[in-house]
Amino acid sequence: MALVAERDSFDELMTCRLSAAPRRRSPCSIVIFGASGDLTARKLIPALYHLHKDKLLPDPTRILGVARREKTDESWREELFEALQTHSRTQPVDRGAWEAFAPKLAYCRGDLSDPATYRQLGARLGEASEEALRRNLLFYLAVPPSSFGLIVEQLHAAGLLHRDPPEPSWQRVVVEKPFGHDLASARKLNERLTRYIHERQILRIDHYLGKETVQNILMFRFSNAIFEELWSRGSLDHVQITVSEKQGIGNRGGYYEEAGALRDIVQNHLLQVLALVAMEPPVSLDPESIRDEKVKLLRSIRPIPPERVDEFVVRGQYFAGYVDGELSPGYRQEPRVRPDSNVETFVAMRLLIDNWRWSETPFYIRTGKRLPLSASEIRVQFRPAPNVLFAAACGGRLEPNALTLRLQPNEGISLHFNGKVPGTSMTVRPVRMHFSYNAAFGAYTPEAYERLLLDAIEGDPTLFIRRDELETAWRIVDAVREGWGDRPLTNREFYPAGAWGPAAADDLLARHGHTWRNPRPPEADK
Ligand code: BG6
């Protein structure tokens, strides 16, 4: 890790640039399976386009798309250009940059189960004049998980993917979530993949880890001495982590019916954020040290006994209601959802971490679709002031201190404390000190996929999920699934679209003297 300290000439602030040296960004070919899918058009190509525009892609780079639909290189490029107009984070799309980027894109039609597809892919990869483009290969599996094993097997059979490619070649496989649907299937899939490649060649993506604000959790904790001193059961009362979404499930009913909120968000994004908030300081910033600490933390989460699931977990499903004044259908009325579905669109959990730092400090996590607003936030709630002086005079109505890390949108960090309202009376009121990313750094926020694709090209696994992390996370959510079994949802588990989940979620906290603190709506920050 090379460290560069730079003094900012204007405000005398010391900036420390940490860059892993040497950055190995060798020319490569990126092969995207699922080239005509949504993820490719909405996320992957816009991310690659921006990396190209910012001169971060290795030179040269080739991008080959594989899918079943009939297309030519030209028609695929046209389609992607059109999608970019909608999905690019910078607008308008820079024509010049696109014209330099588009020739890198080539399309390869074929069925994933047909060996001829892989022969054809091999031939196209072989067309490259530069050797590095033929030997450094990043395979991106933007396809349903049922095809992961098949693709890796076929790539291996076609001689395109090896466990130990001869140095200095490299070959890596990026897999999208969900990686399995429970611990047993995840293990099976791992075993299938590692028959052909090493664990270190598998990059399991969780796009939350590519978000700037999520990466900032570790930097915030371990580059500021004042907070880390307080970061334990001695000073903290509890922690709340919310990932709320205003949107419903859109046209993803088929997928969501199999996943539900527990597999879609809790197993990955929420547990990953929790691990970063609660883990011990790693011994160094190298990828394995960080991942070791995350696994240790996940392993310290007290197992939820399936027969007592309701003491720790609340699930919910939305019915028709108003979001932003507009009537939204209920989950059971969404396309490709069974009319009697019991799939959860909301989950709230009370987790206890059995280690020295956190013993008996609850971590509440929740996520839901069709909630009043889209926001992801960590709220670290400090212990209340002792019941003397102002706290005693206020009769328990004095707000405890809190620190909010707002992950998105309106990214920022706020410290909540009490202050005297100016005037002749003694009136106390909560106020907040706020740091806003936009105000401090400008509005530039790269998409999570840009960072993750670059790390995949460089072979930096820090922000990808290791096998033991994944399996530990599955173990946690499997116990919950087992507890729910086939039990149908009860009335108490439904919530109207536009509400903060079912009433049972409030009771989960109320039983322990706590209340949910909902994220601030964007207008509150104007
Ligand atoms: C995905 C889930 O992983 O994350 C979606 O499958 C969810 O259901 C999305 O909407 C949320 O991501 P973001 O970046 O919009 O918060």
pLDDT at position 167 is 85
Q: Residue 3: pLDDT above 60? A: no
Please state, rounded to an integer, the average pLDDT across all residues of the chain: 94
**Domain stop point among 176, 198, 228:** 176
**Residue 491: both structure tokens together:** 């009335």
Span 197-211, mean pLDDT? 96
Residues 256 and 357 in one domain: yes
pLDDT for 15: 77
Amino acid at 456: A
Residues 34 and 170 reside in one and the same domain: yes
**Whether residue 98 is found in the same domain as residue 46:** yes
Q: Has residue 309 been placed in a domain?
A: yes
For residues 131 and 70, membership in a common domain is answered with yes
What does the pLDDT read at residue 134? 95
Q: Is residue 345 within 8 Å of residue 318, measured between CB atoms?
A: yes
pLDDT-based confidence at 1, cuts 50/70/90? Answer: very low
pLDDT higher at 405 or 7 = 405
Residues 353 and 214 placed together within one structural domain of the fold: yes
Claim to verify: residue 138 and residue 217 sit in the same structural domain: no
Q: Would 111 be classed as within a structural domain?
A: yes
In a domain? residue 462: yes
**Which of 52, 207, 269, 416 is an active site residue?**
269
pLDDT of 525 reads 67
435 Cα to the center of ligand 1, angstroms: 25
* CATH, residue 80: 3.40.50.720
How does pLDDT run across 493-516, given as a tens digit for each residue? 999 999 999 999 999 999 999 999
For range 196-211, the mean pLDDT: 96
CA dist 318 and 331 (Å) reads: 6
Q: Give the tens place of pLDDT for each residue, 210-242.
A: 999 999 999 999 999 999 899 999 999 999 999
Q: Do residue 372 and residue 458 come from a single domain?
A: yes
219 & 166 share domain: no
Are 310 and 161 in a shared domain?
Answer: no
pLDDT, one tens digit per residue, over 466-482 is 999 999 999 999 999 99
Q: Are residues 510 and 373 in the same domain?
A: yes
pTM (2 decimals)? 0.95
Which range of residues forms the domain containing residue 474? 209-381+438-525
Residue 8 has pLDDT above 60, yes or no: no
Count up the domains in the chain and report the number.
2
Q: What is the pLDDT of residues 416-457, one digit of tens each?
A: 999 999 999 989 999 999 999 999 988 767 889 999 999 999
Alpha-carbon dihedral angle through residues 281, 242, 375, 428, given to the nearest 10 degrees: -90
Residue 332: pLDDT over 90:
yes
Pocket of ligand 1 (CB under 6 A): 245, 264, 376
Q: Is residue 323 part of a domain?
A: yes
Token pair of 481 as six digits: 């699934």
Q: Is residue 397 part of a domain?
A: no
Domain boundary among 153, 176, 199: 176
Q: Is 269 a catalytic residue?
A: yes
Q: Are residues 473 and 329 in the same domain?
A: yes
Residue 136 Cα to ligand 1 middle (Å):
30
In a domain, 113, yes or no: yes
Nearest-CA residue for atom 8 of ligand 1: 264
Whether residue 403 lies inside any domain: the answer is no
Judge whether 140 lies within some domain: yes
Domain termination residue (choose one: 176, 195, 230): 176
Mutate to test the pocket of ligand 1, among 39, 177, 179, 208 (most ligand atoms within 8 A of CB): 208
Q: With contact defined as beta carbons under 8 Å apart, do 414 and 403 qualify? A: yes
Q: Residue 267 maps to which CATH number?
A: 3.30.360.10
Note whether 120 and 268 are same-domain residues: no
pLDDT over 70 (residue 10) = no
| Residue 383 pLDDT level (bands cut at 50, 70, 90) | very high
